[in-house]
Amino acid sequence: MNILVSACLLGVDCRYCGDSCRNEGILNLKDKHNLIPVCPEQLGGLPTPRVPSERKGELVVGKDGTDVTEEFQKGAEQALYLCQLYECETAILKKNSPSCGFGIIYDGTFTGNKVSGDGVAAELLSQHGVLVLNEDNYAEGL
């Protein structure tokens, strides 16, 4: 099975702060599945490192007040394209992220508070029938 995976979970230094959050359990899935790495924020044209961003309703705003909604939407569309190209029915994405979080994301105040909601890419993938999981629940979803 082909699985779309947040590149940061595979050890790629693409997070906003320039590091990764490598997850050995997810990496071990490569023994049975094809893992397709994706970073929607980079695909949308944002640099690494970059100003942290959070969703505020339909907008995505950087901590410095910059509106990066367009970049997040473009990255989500590119992630969907890769998902469809590789016929991925499942995605394992970084929890809480404004692009990849699914079910719970940061609330847009940059205070660490979380709310119900989805990141831009996770939302688009889910709308297209992709099963979206994260690093906490992937094992039960596969």
| Average pLDDT, rounded, for the chain | 97
Contact 37, 70 (CB under 8 A): no
SS3 115: strand
Q: How many CB atoms lie within 10 A of CB 130?
A: 20
- Can you tell me the distance from the alpha carbon of 45 to that of 14, in angstroms, rounded to the nearest whole number? 12
H helices of 35-119, where?
A: 40-43, 69-85
Where do the structural domains in the chain lie, given as residue ranges? 2-141
User: What would the pLDDT profile of 71-83 be if each residue is shown by its tens digit?
Assistant: 999 999 999 999 9
Contact 52, 98 (CB under 8 A): no
User: What would the pLDDT profile of 4-20 be if each residue is shown by its tens digit?
Assistant: 999 999 999 999 999 99
User: What would the pLDDT profile of 16-57 be if each residue is shown by its tens digit?
Assistant: 999 999 999 999 999 999 999 999 999 999 999 999 999 999
Q: Which residues pair with 36 in a beta bridge?
A: 4
